[in-house]
Amino acid sequence: MARIAEYRDDISGSLTTGGTLTAYTLTTNQGLATPTPTTGQLIALTPHVTNGASATLSCDGGSAYPFQTSPGTAIGASVLAINQPYSFKFTGTAWIPFNQVPLGVGNVSGPLSSTAGHIATFADATGKLLQDGGVPVGAANSITPLMYANAAVGFALGMLNGTFTVAAAGSLTITLKTLAGATPSASDPVFFLIRDASAGFVVIEQTAALSIVIPATATIGTVSAQASRLWVGVFNNSGTAVLGVYNSLNAFNVIGWDETSNATGTGISTGSGNAQTWYTASGVTGAFRVIGYIDSTQATAGSWITAPSKIQLFGPGLKKPGDIIQTIYVTNATADTAATTSFTALTHNVIAITPQSSANLIYVKIEAPQFVSTSNLAQFTLSRGTVNNTNLFGGRQVSNTQGNVALFGFSLPNTTSSTTYCLQGLMQTSGSVDAPGNGGVTALMAQEIQI
């Protein structure tokens, strides 16, 4: 009975190895034949250390014989995990697994403890040893950006799990951050979805810091003391993300960007002074996506001292350059008279608009019937405000009879306060002019245009 008990204990897994990770030793209860165990001998052991490559086993001081995952195939490193029991059978020349999944084929060993909600990850390259991998990207039971990157295309999203910060300190530094406010990393990446050559899309996973610096004196076409907007985009440079900036406004001309076509980014420098040009952290030509914009007003263009008044991520529902933000339309039937040789505000022929952004452009159009009392010439123009002969803009129209005045023009009021636009008139010599004249009605329209 004692020998049966020894055999039982030797196949129970209670035996713990000694020796090294490549040369195990084992002392059995039975005392196996030495130097070579009997063919067919069974043992169960628990490694005291995870094995190295081509490990061997010596039982009861006998010869060392190799572990094999299957006949003729030496065991790889980290197959036998520390403190995990294994059963083996002696073939006469090697120890092979007995009555279990063959080593290296399907068995996976774990750490024996973990934390609820954490995920398991592989501890090495063998695919057989697990470890506590911590919380998933995001949090337990959450959907990560990678999980819905493909689905995001249908929602026209160009960036996932990303935002950016802006620092004004003589130069303007735009830095990519995750939604957690961290620098992108392998455990907390930012994803960019950018159009490819076949009208599909590619995903760039950003796992490192990314920024662009607009140096001092680089105006990007902005104007001193005038509110400006810089669009921020990301270019695909053969799989590498490159940040860029763009100013759509040049004087009163707005030229937007087109994400459906490749663009060229000029490497930014202290001399980067043109509007309607993409300036990038390094020179690049390729597809791009806009990820947001920055509004700011610098006392001196290119000084980049004043912090932005607004930082906005781009996405569905936001207007692009050239889009109409709002339209105001009014009519007026009360006649005003101009009878001097300098422009006089016709103060019933006015329209007011409250811009949503001080950077945006205002388009004004006025049509009014007019009546000149003599054969002398009258002249009309537009003004911002109702002060005579002040802040005039737009075209000028001359008339010496009754007829219609049709004028339009663009204005940059540089404010988000209510702004009034007015029709002004004069007589070039003598006489007077009425607008609206002969009982007519003036039509006035003002539109705010995104830049």
| Domains of the chain by residue range | 2-97, 146-313, 325-449
Phi, psi of 147 (to 5 degrees): -65, -35
DSSP, collapsed to helix, strand or coil, labels residue 319 as: coil
Unique residue bearing structure tokens 């004043």: 306
Residues β-bridged to residue 296:
228
pLDDT digit string (tens) for the chain, length 451 residues? 677 888 888 999 899 999 999 999 999 999 999 999 999 999 999 999 999 999 999 999 999 999 998 888 999 999 899 999 999 999 999 999 987 655 554 455 566 566 776 777 777 766 666 677 776 655 555 555 555 565 565 557 899 999 999 999 999 999 999 999 999 999 999 999 998 877 778 889 999 999 999 999 999 999 999 999 999 999 999 999 999 999 999 999 999 999 999 999 999 999 999 999 999 999 999 999 999 999 999 999 999 999 999 999 998 889 999 999 999 999 999 999 999 999 999 999 999 999 999 999 999 999 999 999 888 999 999 999 999 999 999 999 998 888 899 999 999 999 999 999 999 999 999 999 999 998 899 999 999 999 9
Q: Rounded distance, CA 210 to CA 176, Å?
A: 5
Q: Is the peptide bond before 35 cis (omega within 30 degrees of 0)?
A: yes
Q: Which fold has domain 325-449?
A: Jelly Rolls (2.60.120)
Tell me the one-letter amino acid at 139.
A
Residue 96 and residue 47: Cα distance in Å, rounded? 15
List, in sequence order, every beta strand (DSSP E) within 18-63.
Answer: 18-19, 23-26, 42-46, 56-59
Rounded Cα gap, residues 312 and 283, in angstroms = 25
